[in-house]
């Protein structure tokens, strides 16, 4: 009988773990974890994954008394990788049917060939001791033979040192759990942070700029009340302002993560996402509304919502037609019709918090977005945006991208009758994403805007881009990208007096390599080349160079 128990425990210990330890680890996990935002920023996923990885007992050693990721078995035949011809089949069968201290993995496998350490053996031994003690305390001592008890006692004496060490680890884990419960900020809210240091300069024959060292900070409180909903409350500060737009003379090339100046701290994003049934998700945006927060732009990894872990420039993040009325208030809806079809729609008012204008009395944009994903590697999207922009206040613009002509800005030199008119516009977009392999992804888009200058005339505006993305380039977690295209530029203008404008195509070429120093630190050198800035109104090409260091926590 002694040999049977040795064989039985030798096989089962590869999968067994101390139940008390498992329960304590699960408590730590529940205190640290919160479900991730779908298709959200990668640093959120890494943060919660790191919390899970810090558990003392790894999932690969769990096998006794099932948790949420295990399946209790009542018969050894339920384990798909255990055969009657296995040398320890009879011993394993006895352990399952007589004492019930075996649990398989969710896929109903046992994985008994895995090598083990003395500590793992001791963990399995202690697990069975606990189960037998439970049987005895329940008044069922007659179900445990004296031979089994004697064999277990001898094994317990032989592994006394390892058992004591394991109990010490359990005590330490329980103390850590108690400390977390006592000191945690909130049972429903977790803090996700991102800080960026930006060493950058713009240069060119027509650019007057010096080397700068800038910063950007985001502190996001992610709250869940049901486990499926998300409340995002974000504080943002920094001193990057509008990048080098003033020095170059155009919004082309603005950093994706700029926008705050003077190191002031502001509450920018205030969103609540919640499901309605299994297929519909609603996003209420009371601060910093944006169509990209609920609609799929098909540029994952580069479009990180203005964060400092994706593309370098605003233009490289997404099709600029998604940027209409960015920063206002509104609502978004995403409906998953099937695994292959997704539909999104939303409405944003630029002055939605102003009682004088509200959600319906000022500038607004309404978007509809259809995404088709026939395979895991290919996606395509069609987008339509209907917008109206007032003549005064924040006028028609592409959210900090494009030329002055495309934004119908007074800086373009166009007549006041053009730059001062209200604008109604219809924008059409096509986006696509093809993942040729885990290490190469090709994305692209084209956007066309038909703008009606109320009482004046009309204008046509075009933008397009292609992006080559290289995940895990040279190192796992690092990535590289090359983006080539043209930010929004004016292609035709029908207005009184037939005003002239520069008609050169302003190409945008961007390349960067994001090197992952650790789970929490990346360093990204990058170069942006702007040909014919502002459609040639600025004579010479402009360049922007940066080294961005991002800390995620």
The C-alpha angle with vertex 343 and arms to 337 and 346, in degrees rounded to 5, equals 140
Most confident of 36-50, 56-70, 196-210: 196-210
pLDDT of residue 8 exceeding 70: no
Q: Above 50 in pLDDT, residue 248?
A: yes
Q: Mean pLDDT in the chain?
A: 84
Query: Is residue 82 predicted with pLDDT exceeding 60?
Result: yes
**Chain position carrying tokens 């209790």:** 72
Confidence of residue 123 (pLDDT cuts 50, 70, 90): confident
pLDDT for res 147: 75
Give me Rg for the CA atoms of the chain. 30
Measured torsion, CA atoms of residues 293, 514, 549, 292, in degrees rounded to the nearest 10: -10
| Structure tokens that stand for 386 in this block | 């209907």
Please check the confidence at residue 11 and state whether its pLDDT lies above 80: no
Cβ–Cβ under 8 Å, residues 507 and 463? no
pLDDT higher than threshold 60 for residue 100: yes
In this structure, how many other beta carbons lie within 10 angstroms of the beta carbon of residue 360?
9
Mean pLDDT of 12-24: 36
Name the pLDDT band for 21 (thresholds 50, 70, 90).
very low
DSSP 8-state secondary structure symbol assigned to residue 292: G
What distance in Å separates the CA atoms of residue 342 and residue 362, rounded to the nearest whole number? 30
Task: Compute the residue count for the chain.
Answer: 553
What per-residue confidence (pLDDT) applies to 550? Answer: 98
Residue 62: closest CA among 8, 2, 21, 28: 21
pTM (predicted TM-score): 0.72
Tokens of 226: 């049901």
Instruction: Kindly indicate the confidence band of residue 474, based on its pLDDT and cuts at 50, 70 and 90.
Output: very high
What is the reported pLDDT for 101? 66
What pLDDT, on a 0 to 100 scale, did the predictor assign at position 107? 72
What is the spatial distance between Cα 70 and Cα 359, in angstroms, rounded to a whole number? Answer: 50
Indicate the pLDDT class of residue 45, thresholds 50, 70 and 90.
very low
Structure tokens at 390: 């007032």
């Amino acid at each position: 009988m002694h040999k049977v128990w040795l064989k039985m425990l030798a096989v089962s210990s590869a999968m067994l773990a101390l139940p008390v330890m498992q329960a304590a680890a699960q408590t730590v996990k529940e205190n640290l974890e919160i479900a991730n935002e779908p298709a959200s920023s990668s640093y959120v996923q890494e943060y919660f994954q790191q919390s899970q990885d810090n558990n003392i007992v790894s999932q690969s050693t769990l096998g006794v008394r099932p948790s949420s990721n295990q399946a209790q078995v009542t018969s050894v035949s339920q384990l798909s990788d255990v055969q009657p011809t296995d040398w320890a089949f009879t011993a394993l069968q006895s352990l399952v049917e007589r004492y019930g201290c075996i649990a398989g993995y969710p896929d109903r496998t046992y994985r008994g060939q895995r090598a083990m350490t003395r500590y793992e053996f001791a963990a399995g031994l202690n697990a069975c001791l606990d189960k037998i003690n439970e049987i005895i305390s329940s008044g069922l001592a007659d179900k445990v033979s004296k031979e089994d008890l004697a064999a277990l006692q001898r094994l317990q004496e032989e592994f006394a040192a390892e058992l004591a060490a394991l109990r010490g680890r359990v005590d330490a884990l329980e103390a850590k759990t108690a400390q977390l419960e006592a000191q945690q900020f909130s049972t429903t809210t977790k803090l996700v942070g991102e800080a960026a240091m930006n060493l950058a300069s713009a240069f060119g024959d027509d650019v007057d700029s010096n080397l700068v060292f800038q910063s950007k900070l985001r502190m996001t409180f992610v709250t869940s009340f049901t486990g499926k909903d998300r409340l995002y409350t974000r504080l943002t500060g920094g001193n990057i302002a509008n990048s080098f737009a003033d020095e170059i003379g155009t919004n082309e090339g603005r950093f994706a993560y700029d926008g705050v100046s003077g190191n002031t701290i502001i509450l920018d994003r205030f969103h609540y996402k919640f499901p309605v049934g299994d297929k519909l998700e609603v996003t209420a945006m009371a601060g910093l509304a944006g169509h990209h927060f609920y609609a799929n732009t098909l540029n994952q990894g580069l479009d990180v919502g203005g964060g400092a872990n994706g593309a370098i420039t605003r233009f490289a993040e997404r099709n600029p037609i998604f940027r209409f009325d960015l920063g206002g208030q509104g609502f978004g809806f995403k409906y998953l019709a099937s695994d292959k079809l997704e539909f999104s729609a939303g409405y944003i008012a630029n002055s939605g918090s102003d009682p004088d204008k509200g959600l319906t009395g000022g500038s607004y944009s309404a978007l509809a977005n259809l995404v088709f994903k026939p395979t895991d590697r290919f996606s395509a999207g069609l987008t339509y945006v209907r917008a109206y922009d007032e003549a005064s206040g924040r006028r028609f613009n592409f959210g900090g991208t494009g030329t002055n002509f495309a934004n119908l800005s007074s800086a373009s030199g166009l007549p006041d009758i053009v730059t001062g008119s209200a604008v109604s516009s219809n924008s059409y977009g096509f986006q696509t994403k093809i993942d040729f392999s885990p290490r190469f992804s090709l994305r692209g888009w084209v956007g066309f805007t038909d703008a009606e200058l109320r009482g004046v005339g009309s204008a046509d505006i075009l933008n397009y881009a292609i992006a080559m993305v290289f995940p895990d380039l040279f190192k796992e977690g690092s990535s590289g990208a090359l983006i080539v295209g043209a930010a929004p530029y004016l292609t035709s203008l029908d207005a009184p007096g037939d005003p002239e404008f520069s008609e050169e195509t302003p190409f945008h070429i961007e390349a960067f390599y994001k090197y992952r120093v650790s789970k929490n630190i990346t360093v990204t050198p990058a170069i942006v080349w702007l040909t014919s800035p502002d459609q040639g109104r600025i004579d010479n090409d402009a360049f922007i160079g940066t080294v961005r260091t991002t800390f995620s926590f």
